[in-house]
Protein backbone atom coordinates (compact mmCIF):
# COMPACT_ATOMS: atom_id res chain seq x y z
CA UNK A 1 0.00 0.00 0.00
CA UNK A 2 1.37 3.35 -1.03
CA UNK A 3 0.94 6.46 1.08
CA UNK A 4 0.14 9.62 -0.76
CA UNK A 5 2.47 12.61 -0.56
CA UNK A 6 -0.35 14.53 1.11
CA UNK A 7 -0.80 11.98 3.90
CA UNK A 8 2.97 11.94 4.56
CA UNK A 9 3.25 15.72 4.64
CA UNK A 10 0.58 16.17 7.30
CA UNK A 11 2.49 14.70 10.26
CA UNK A 12 5.68 16.42 9.07
CA UNK A 13 3.86 19.73 8.89
CA UNK A 14 2.47 19.23 12.39
CA UNK A 15 5.97 18.40 13.67
CA UNK A 16 7.47 21.52 12.07
CA UNK A 17 4.67 23.65 13.47
CA UNK A 18 5.23 22.23 16.96
CA UNK A 19 8.96 22.99 16.75
CA UNK A 20 8.31 26.53 15.56
CA UNK A 21 5.82 27.12 18.37
CA UNK A 22 8.27 25.73 20.94
CA UNK A 23 11.04 28.02 19.71
CA UNK A 24 8.67 30.96 19.72
CA UNK A 25 7.59 30.26 23.30
CA UNK A 26 11.20 29.83 24.39
CA UNK A 27 12.22 33.10 22.77
CA UNK A 28 9.31 34.91 24.40
CA UNK A 29 10.25 33.50 27.78
CA UNK A 30 13.90 34.56 27.41
CA UNK A 31 12.83 38.01 26.26
CA UNK A 32 10.56 38.40 29.25
CA UNK A 33 13.28 37.14 31.59
CA UNK A 34 16.02 39.56 30.55
CA UNK A 35 13.66 42.48 31.06
CA UNK A 36 12.18 41.32 34.36
CA UNK A 37 15.61 40.65 35.89
CA UNK A 38 16.85 44.14 35.03
CA UNK A 39 13.64 45.84 36.18
CA UNK A 40 13.86 44.00 39.53
CA UNK A 41 17.48 45.08 40.11
CA UNK A 42 17.41 48.63 38.74
CA UNK A 43 15.46 50.23 41.65
CA UNK A 44 18.03 48.76 44.05
CA UNK A 45 20.90 50.04 41.91
CA UNK A 46 19.32 53.50 41.82
CA UNK A 47 19.00 53.53 45.61
CA UNK A 48 22.63 52.51 45.83
CA UNK A 49 23.63 55.33 43.50
CA UNK A 50 21.73 57.88 45.56
CA UNK A 51 23.23 56.50 48.77
CA UNK A 52 26.75 57.05 47.46
CA UNK A 53 26.02 60.71 48.19
CA UNK A 54 25.48 59.92 51.87
CA UNK A 55 29.07 58.69 52.17
CA UNK A 56 30.25 62.28 52.54
CA UNK A 57 29.00 62.33 56.14
CA UNK A 58 31.46 62.80 58.97
CA UNK A 59 33.87 59.88 59.21
CA UNK A 60 35.11 60.61 62.69
CA UNK A 61 34.38 63.23 65.31
CA UNK A 62 35.92 66.48 64.12
CA UNK A 63 37.10 65.03 60.79
CA UNK A 64 35.37 65.83 57.52
CA UNK A 65 36.31 65.38 53.89
CA UNK A 66 37.24 68.37 51.73
CA UNK A 67 34.68 70.24 49.66
CA UNK A 68 36.37 69.01 46.47
CA UNK A 69 36.01 65.38 47.57
CA UNK A 70 32.41 65.94 48.61
CA UNK A 71 31.62 67.50 45.23
CA UNK A 72 33.30 64.62 43.39
CA UNK A 73 31.35 61.99 45.33
CA UNK A 74 28.08 63.85 44.77
CA UNK A 75 28.90 63.97 41.04
CA UNK A 76 29.39 60.20 40.98
CA UNK A 77 26.07 59.73 42.79
CA UNK A 78 24.19 62.11 40.49
CA UNK A 79 25.64 60.66 37.26
CA UNK A 80 24.94 57.09 38.30
CA UNK A 81 21.37 58.00 39.29
CA UNK A 82 20.69 59.74 35.96
CA UNK A 83 22.09 56.89 33.90
CA UNK A 84 20.26 54.20 35.87
CA UNK A 85 16.94 56.06 35.70
CA UNK A 86 17.37 56.38 31.93
CA UNK A 87 18.22 52.69 31.68
CA UNK A 88 15.10 51.75 33.66
CA UNK A 89 12.96 53.94 31.39
CA UNK A 90 14.37 52.22 28.30
CA UNK A 91 13.73 48.76 29.73
CA UNK A 92 10.13 49.77 30.44
CA UNK A 93 9.83 51.19 26.91
CA UNK A 94 11.03 47.91 25.44
CA UNK A 95 8.64 45.94 27.64
CA UNK A 96 5.73 48.02 26.33
CA UNK A 97 6.89 48.19 22.71
CA UNK A 98 9.78 45.85 21.79
CA UNK A 99 12.09 47.19 19.07
CA UNK A 100 15.70 46.83 17.91
CA UNK A 101 16.10 50.59 18.25
CA UNK A 102 15.33 50.46 21.98
CA UNK A 103 17.78 47.59 22.44
CA UNK A 104 20.47 49.74 20.82
CA UNK A 105 19.62 52.60 23.18
CA UNK A 106 19.88 50.25 26.17
CA UNK A 107 23.28 49.08 24.97
CA UNK A 108 24.37 52.69 24.49
CA UNK A 109 23.38 53.68 28.04
CA UNK A 110 25.19 50.64 29.46
CA UNK A 111 28.29 51.69 27.50
CA UNK A 112 27.95 55.23 28.89
CA UNK A 113 27.73 53.90 32.46
CA UNK A 114 30.83 51.78 31.91
CA UNK A 115 32.67 54.89 30.70
CA UNK A 116 31.28 57.63 32.94
CA UNK A 117 31.51 56.07 36.40
CA UNK A 118 35.13 54.82 36.25
CA UNK A 119 36.18 58.18 34.83
CA UNK A 120 34.45 60.12 37.63
CA UNK A 121 35.85 57.76 40.25
CA UNK A 122 39.37 58.13 38.94
CA UNK A 123 39.16 61.92 38.91
CA UNK A 124 37.65 62.11 42.42
CA UNK A 125 41.03 61.78 44.20
CA UNK A 126 39.50 60.76 47.55
CA UNK A 127 42.28 60.99 50.12
CA UNK A 128 40.71 59.08 53.00
CA UNK A 129 41.52 55.40 52.28
CA UNK A 130 38.42 54.02 54.02
CA UNK A 131 36.06 56.39 52.21
CA UNK A 132 37.83 55.76 48.90
CA UNK A 133 37.53 51.99 49.33
CA UNK A 134 33.82 52.17 50.10
CA UNK A 135 32.96 54.53 47.25
CA UNK A 136 34.97 52.31 44.90
CA UNK A 137 33.16 49.19 46.16
CA UNK A 138 29.80 50.87 45.55
CA UNK A 139 30.69 51.98 42.03
CA UNK A 140 32.12 48.56 41.15
CA UNK A 141 28.98 46.81 42.37
CA UNK A 142 26.86 49.01 40.10
CA UNK A 143 29.22 48.46 37.15
CA UNK A 144 29.37 44.66 37.46
CA UNK A 145 25.60 44.37 37.82
CA UNK A 146 24.92 46.56 34.79
CA UNK A 147 27.53 44.57 32.85
CA UNK A 148 25.67 41.39 33.76
CA UNK A 149 22.49 42.91 32.28
CA UNK A 150 24.30 43.26 28.97
CA UNK A 151 24.91 39.51 28.80
CA UNK A 152 21.14 38.87 28.77
CA UNK A 153 20.24 41.30 25.99
CA UNK A 154 19.06 39.51 22.82
CA UNK A 155 21.63 39.71 20.08
CA UNK A 156 20.81 42.02 17.20
CA UNK A 157 22.15 41.64 13.64
CA UNK A 158 24.23 44.82 13.83
CA UNK A 159 25.84 44.07 17.21
CA UNK A 160 29.65 43.78 17.02
CA UNK A 161 31.00 40.29 17.75
CA UNK A 162 33.04 41.52 20.72
CA UNK A 163 29.92 43.07 22.23
CA UNK A 164 27.96 39.85 21.74
CA UNK A 165 30.43 37.83 23.77
CA UNK A 166 31.53 40.40 26.36
CA UNK A 167 30.84 39.31 29.92
CA UNK A 168 28.91 36.17 28.98
CA UNK A 169 29.88 34.45 32.23
CA UNK A 170 28.84 37.27 34.56
CA UNK A 171 26.14 36.11 37.00
CA UNK A 172 23.18 38.45 37.47
CA UNK A 173 22.51 39.00 41.19
CA UNK A 174 18.98 39.11 42.56
CA UNK A 175 17.77 42.28 44.25
CA UNK A 176 18.14 40.75 47.72
CA UNK A 177 21.72 39.71 46.98
CA UNK A 178 22.51 43.20 45.67
CA UNK A 179 21.30 44.76 48.91
CA UNK A 180 23.32 42.28 50.95
CA UNK A 181 26.53 42.95 49.00
CA UNK A 182 26.04 46.72 49.18
CA UNK A 183 25.34 46.73 52.92
CA UNK A 184 28.38 44.54 53.60
CA UNK A 185 30.91 46.12 51.24
CA UNK A 186 29.89 49.77 51.43
CA UNK A 187 27.98 50.30 54.67
CA UNK A 188 29.19 47.46 56.87
CA UNK A 189 31.31 47.48 59.99
CA UNK A 190 35.02 48.18 59.75
CA UNK A 191 37.52 50.91 60.52
CA UNK A 192 36.38 51.49 64.10
CA UNK A 193 33.08 52.09 65.85
CA UNK A 194 32.81 55.78 64.89
CA UNK A 195 33.44 55.08 61.19
CA UNK A 196 31.07 52.10 61.12
CA UNK A 197 28.35 54.25 62.69
CA UNK A 198 28.91 57.02 60.11
CA UNK A 199 28.57 54.62 57.19
CA UNK A 200 25.53 52.78 58.56
CA UNK A 201 23.19 55.46 57.17
CA UNK A 202 23.95 54.44 53.58
CA UNK A 203 22.44 50.95 53.93
CA UNK A 204 19.81 49.91 51.36
CA UNK A 205 16.71 48.35 52.95
Question: How far apart are alpha carbons 153 and 52 in whole angstroms?
Answer: 27
pLDDT at 88: 97
pLDDT of amino acid 61: 45
Nearest to 77 by CA among 111, 117, 37, 106: 117
- Is 159 in a helix, a strand, or coil? coil
pLDDT at 198: 59
Q: What is the dihedral of CA 109, 34, 147, 159, to 10 degrees?
A: -60
| DSSP 8-state class, residue 60 | B
d(CA 103, CA 139): 24
Q: Is the pTM of this model over 0.85?
A: no
* Distance separating the N- and C-terminal Cα atoms of the chain: 74
Dihedral sign (CA 142, 92, 149, 173): positive
Quote the CA–CA distance of 79 and 109 in Å, as a whole number.
Answer: 12
Phi (first) and psi of residue 153, to 5 degrees: -65, 130
3-class DSSP assignment, residue 61 = coil
Residues of the chain with pLDDT under 50: 2-3, 5-9, 11-30, 60-61, 160-167
Residues ≥6 apart with Cβ < 8 Å to 200: 187
User: Are 107 and 90 within 8 A, CB to CB?
Assistant: no
Task: Tell me which DSSP letter residue 56 carries.
Answer: G
**Using CA atoms, how far apart are residues 11 and 48, in angstroms rounded to an integer?**
56
DSSP designation for 63: B
CA distance 151 to 165: 8
What per-residue confidence (pLDDT) applies to 18? 40
Amino acid sequence: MKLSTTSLSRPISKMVLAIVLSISLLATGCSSQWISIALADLPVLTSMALNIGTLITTLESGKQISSAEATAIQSISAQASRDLNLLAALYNDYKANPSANTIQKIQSVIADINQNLPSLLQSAHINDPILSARVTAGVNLILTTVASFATLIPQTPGMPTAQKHAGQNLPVPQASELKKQWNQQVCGAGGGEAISSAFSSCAVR
